[in-house]
Amino acid sequence: MPMVGYLNGEYTADGLAQVPIDERGHQFGDGVYEVIRVYSGRLFLLDEHLQRLQRSLSAIGIENPHSLDEWREIVNEGVRRSMEPEAQVYLQVTRGVAVRAHLFPSTSPSVSMTVRPVRAPDVSPGALMCLPDERWANAYVKTINLLPNVIAKEAAHRANAIDALLVRNGMMREGSSTNMWFVRQGKIYTAPANRYILNGITRQFVLKLASQQGLTVCEQALSFNELSDIDEVFLTSTTQEIRPVERIFADETQMASLTHLPDDAPSSLLYRCDKPVELWNRTAPGPVTTLLQKAYSQAVENFRSYQEPLGTDNSLSVQDQNSKA
């Protein structure tokens, strides 16, 4: 089935909806968004995504144009029309359409949505490229202003990495489109949900999974200088679920920028990696990552069969996991 689109109350096929030239999302990036996964025709963690959408809207002063029930109806209808059992929903709200001016206009928000089919995520181990975190200081808002993220992802891709590991003042925060997790001596570390990271819905779900599995999680940012003590690394996101990391590297010329951004403006923000320095390398996935991957897969299967995603208390310890490997 072709992509299903939605714009301000009208569903369309093949992306035929036209966005007005004075749309503030188009001209200012003045809006927020969510990405929601569909499994077997069911929207996974929908309410959690809609609640975060509300928080993002509140943070930038846009009035939520719909109630929770209205949002559920709009998104579910888009999925129904798509007839795709495995899909991804992109939902966006902007400040609306008005003649271009920096001050907020007196206009209604604009809502758009797409529903597209997706394949199963690639969960093979990949590499990360460390880059300085040059985003604004309010990464907790899921804004459509994604230029720094897009540039970081592209730079990592050109260096054969699956994502950029963004480092702010020496502390590892998150990826360009993922949350990061580090395992040291059986304990899991992930950056705290403060203003410097996006508190991923998958991140929140994996925290619950880890607790159910009896794992200890410390919400604490680690320095990239601590990588030598790390046993496992994995990343999470709505579209990638849980993916192991096998290598982390940086460009030699960018090492100083990981702890302090220089005042001089660079000639290009698309950083190259001509002199790679390996910072971490391990066999992936490790036992903790594997345990959580299996728990996540089981949660999705539970959801597909109309059970609670977390199911009952059938946790499997890391020791059990090792014995079954």
Contact between residue 217 and residue 292 where contact means Cβ atoms under 8 Å apart: no
Contact between residue 95 and residue 31 where contact means Cβ atoms under 8 Å apart: yes
Residue 242 CB contacts under 8 Å (≥ 6 apart), including other chains: 123, 202, 206, 234, 235, 236, 289, 292, 293, 296
- Kindly name the residue from 142, 187, 275, 324 that is annotated as catalytic: 142
**Distance between CA atoms of residues 202 and 177, nearest Å:** 12
Look at strands 110-117 and 232-237 and give their pairing.
unpaired
Q: Bridge partners of 92? A: 33, 112
Closest CA to 222 of 197, 253, 256: 197
Proportion of the chain in helix, strand, coil states, percent, rounded to 5: 30, 30, 40
**Distance between CA atoms of residues 53 and 105, nearest Å:** 21
192: its two tokens? 């705290």
299: its two tokens? 């949660």
At which residue do the structure tokens 């897969």 appear?
297
Q: How many C-beta neighbours within 10 Å does residue 161 have?
A: 24
Of the chain, the end-to-end C-alpha distance in Å amounts to 40
Residue 5 CB contacts under 8 Å (≥ 6 apart), including other chains: 11, 12, 13, 14, 15, 16, 17, 112, 113, 114
Helix 201-212 vs helix 287-304: crossing angle, to nearest 10:
110
187 is catalytic: no
Contact between residue 183 and residue 222 where contact means Cβ atoms under 8 Å apart: no
Active site residues: 142
